[in-house]
A and B are shown apart, each in its own frame.
Chain A
Amino acid sequence: MIVLGLDTSTRMTTCAVMEDEILLGEFSLSLDMSHSEALVPMIEELMNNLDLKLSDMDGFAVSTGPGSFTGLRIGLATAKGFAHVTGKPIVGVSSLQVLADNMYGHSVVIPMMDARRDRVFTAIYTMENNQWETLLEPDAIEVENLIEMIHDSYEKVILVGDGATKYKKEFSDRLAGKALFAPGTLNLSRASSVCRLGMLRLQRGESDDMFTLAPDYLRDSQAQRMMNKKR
């Protein structure tokens, strides 16, 4: 089974092609330009290098969120377009689990992305029998609350993602010794993990509806929040 995966949930534009257990290739770039400029040319180059066409793919995997609202939509519009023209299945995976996958094998992994205003998009995963189990579902949480949660419930955790970098001081000050930080080389989203996690779903016979698949923003738009407040 050959799967093309992509992730545009963070600053990273990343795409990869995996055949079963083997990663055939991966391109990742952290750019100032929009994902929209970089993504399809990058995929085209990767595929040309691998001498593959979109029609050779058995499925498409994409990070559905949380993350940059605009980034998520670029990734989804692209992956949905691929699935639409080829008629091949599409699977969405959590961009937090993609980040956690960088720390494969560790017992408690907490991926996080900055959600502004002292909040992070986060989830808590643990690895059992080579599979991720979810201890805390993806959510937007105040850093303060997350620190308390870790303090009260866990012995040792690994923090990964730009949220961990941004609030490094807060985490280290309050969780001395308990929290480890992923190194810079493992702190970014990788499309190879999107492929791996997506393929697991495809192999289980799962897929998403290409027509209705939408980002998991984990947050209403500001206008919706204000409207809800008024009501």
Chain B
Amino acid sequence: MLTLAIETSCDETSCGVVKDGREVLSNIISSQIEIHREYGGVVPEIASRKHIEGIDVIIQEALDAAKVGFKDIDFISVTQGPGLVGALLVGLSSAKAIAYGLEIPIVGVNHIEGHICANYIQHKDLEPPFTCLIVSGGHSYLVDVLDYNDYKLYGRTRDDAAGEAFDKVARALGLPYPGGPQIDQLALEGDADAVDFPRVFLESDSYDFSFSGLKTSVLNYLNQLKQKNEEPNVADIAASFQKAVLDVMVEKSFRLAKENKRNKIVIAGGVAANKGLRKMMEQRGKDENVDILYPSIELCTDNAAMIGSAGYYNYINGKTSDFHMKVMPNLGFLE
């Protein structure tokens, strides 16, 4: 079963061909990061303009790289949300046109589920159930994956997503966009115990996250230094901030795994590329006999292959869409 997958939720134009949800025949990712860096963040209108200029080129590259033609495609998978409305609309319009032209089904995919499924591509024998921590620029979720396409939500962010907090702190530290990877890199050189930033665990039984207080305390700390005319040690602050975020995420992930008696924790989303997170999870995993899995760096970023994988599991579960489907910029996950 072959799907052509299209992902345009933010600033990556990506198309790919995926076989049976696991085997990636192609995964073309055209990043606009250089264009948006100049503006200090993603500009939605510019992102949409780049998507429409490039979409059919990327689709063709994906088919060519997979050595298949349109006639070989069984169904189309496309990101329905969440994401930037104008950006999503380009991918969805293109997907509908192709599905109608080929007279094949179309499957609207939740981008968050796509991030989880990136792990099915990476780890060929990974099967549910497992505990999954999903962290990206706009989202933080803690879920129990009961089966393919069957999830139970335990925690989500009450304010800023982790990735968002990373980006805002990075900006305050004067680091270029995107800030997450910059903080991760700097944290390697800094002392994570240099500054004692708060760990926000919320109620003792809660799996939810809250990062806005932590973000504020970093900003306050920087302000205090400024008033005292002291130069901030950027590496130490990055390391201390990152540790404060990761301590909470790691602790809650392991608590959930324990509650559901899972021996696997899977990390998904853009922040799954964070070296500090991977290392801390793996160390704790060794102590507690829990396997830690995450995708390659390329599969952590927004990409079409993960949408194709999620599309497949939706498709075989009978969850197809129709041509009336609309984009859902604020689509949550299991909310």
Contact segment of A22-30, A116-124, A144-152, A211-219: A211-219
User: In the complex the two chains form, is B43's CB within 8 Å of A81's CB?
Assistant: no
Q: Which residues of A contact B93 (CB under 8 A)?
A: 36, 39-40, 73-74, 77-78, 81
Return the CB mask of A198-231 against B: 1 if under 8 Å, else 0.
0000000000001110110100011110010000
> Quick one: which of B43, B48, B59, B91 contacts A70, CB cutoff 8 A?
B48
Within 8 A of B (CB), among A111-137: none
- Which of B89, B93, B96, B325 lies at the interface centre, i.e. has the most chain A CB atoms within 10 A of its CB? B93
> Quick one: which of B46, B49, B98 contacts A85, CB cutoff 8 A?
B98
* Residue B64 is within 8 A (CB to CB) of chain A in the complex: no
Known: A73-B90, A85-B101. A41 touches B324 (CB 8 A): yes
* Residue B189 is within 8 A (CB to CB) of chain A in the complex: no
| B331: min CB distance to chain A, Å | 15
Q: What bracket does the count of chain A residues touching chain B fall in?
A: 35 or more
User: In the complex the two chains form, is B53's CB within 8 Å of A223's CB?
Assistant: no
* Residue B306 is within 8 A (CB to CB) of chain A in the complex: no
Rounded to whole angstroms, the CA-CA distance of A70 and B329 in the bound complex is 14
Q: Which residues of A contact B162 (CB under 8 A)?
A: none
Q: Which residues of A contact B57 (CB under 8 A)?
A: 211-212
* Residue A12 is within 8 A (CB to CB) of chain B in the complex: no
Q: Which residues of B contact A37 (CB under 8 A)?
A: 324-326
User: In the complex the two chains form, is A81's CB within 8 Å of B56's CB?
Assistant: yes
User: In the complex the two chains form, is A221's CB within 8 Å of B97's CB?
Assistant: no
User: In the complex the two chains form, is B43's CB within 8 Å of A223's CB?
Assistant: yes
Q: Which residues of A contact B52 (CB under 8 A)?
A: 73, 76-77, 214-215
User: In the complex the two chains form, is B38's CB within 8 Å of A227's CB?
Assistant: yes
Secondary structure at the B interface, as helix, strand, loop or mixed, is helix
* Residue B154 is within 8 A (CB to CB) of chain A in the complex: no
Known: A40-B97, A221-B49. A70 touches B89 (CB 8 A): yes
Secondary structure at the A interface, as helix, strand, loop or mixed, is helix
Known: A44-B323, A79-B97. A85 touches B43 (CB 8 A): no
* Residue A107 is within 8 A (CB to CB) of chain B in the complex: no
Within 8 A of A (CB), among B36-65: 38-39, 43, 45-46, 48-49, 51-53, 55-57, 59-60
Return the CB mask of B298-335 against A: 1 if under 8 Å, else 0.
00000000000000000000000011111100000000
| A85: min CB distance to chain B, Å | 4
Q: How many A-B residue pairs have CB under 8 A?
A: 113
Rounded to whole angstroms, the CA-CA distance of A78 and B178 in the bound complex is 32
Return the CB mask of A63-87 against B: 1 if under 8 Å, else 0.
0000001100110111111101110
Q: Which residues of A contact B265 (CB under 8 A)?
A: none
Within 8 A of A (CB), among B56-105: 56-57, 59-60, 70, 85-86, 89-98, 100-102
User: In the complex the two chains form, is A70's CB within 8 Å of B53's CB?
Assistant: no
User: In the complex the two chains form, is B94's CB within 8 Å of A36's CB?
Assistant: no
| A121: min CB distance to chain B, Å | 17
User: In the complex the two chains form, is A41's CB within 8 Å of B323's CB?
Assistant: yes
User: In the complex the two chains form, is B56's CB within 8 Å of A69's CB?
Assistant: no
| A79: min CB distance to chain B, Å | 7
Q: Which residues of B contact A78 (CB under 8 A)?
A: 93-94, 96-97
Q: Which residues of B contact A34 (CB under 8 A)?
A: 89, 326-327
User: In the complex the two chains form, is B56's CB within 8 Å of A80's CB?
Assistant: yes
User: In the complex the two chains form, is B48's CB within 8 Å of A69's CB?
Assistant: yes
User: In the complex the two chains form, is B56's CB within 8 Å of A84's CB?
Assistant: yes
> Quick one: which of A44, A80, A214, A221 contacts B94, CB cutoff 8 A?
A80
- Considering the complex, give the chain A residue whose CB is closest to the CB of B39: A223
Rounded to whole angstroms, the CA-CA distance of A34 and B92 in the bound complex is 12
Interchain Cβ contacts under 8 Å between A and B, 9 examples? A33-B326, A37-B324, A39-B96, A70-B85, A80-B97, A86-B101, A210-B56, A221-B49, A223-B39
Chain B residues near A (Cβ < 8 Å)? 38-39, 43, 45-46, 48-49, 51-53, 55-57, 59-60, 70, 85-86, 89-98, 100-102, 322-327
Q: A37-B325, A78-B93, A217-B49 are in contact. List 19 more A-B contacts (CB 8 A).
A: A36-B92, A41-B322, A41-B324, A43-B100, A44-B323, A69-B48, A73-B48, A73-B86, A74-B89, A74-B90, A77-B93, A78-B94, A79-B97, A81-B98, A85-B102, A210-B56, A212-B53, A215-B52, A222-B45
Chain A residues near B (Cβ < 8 Å)? 33-34, 36-37, 39-41, 43-44, 54-55, 69-70, 73-74, 76-82, 84-86, 210-212, 214-215, 217, 221-224, 227
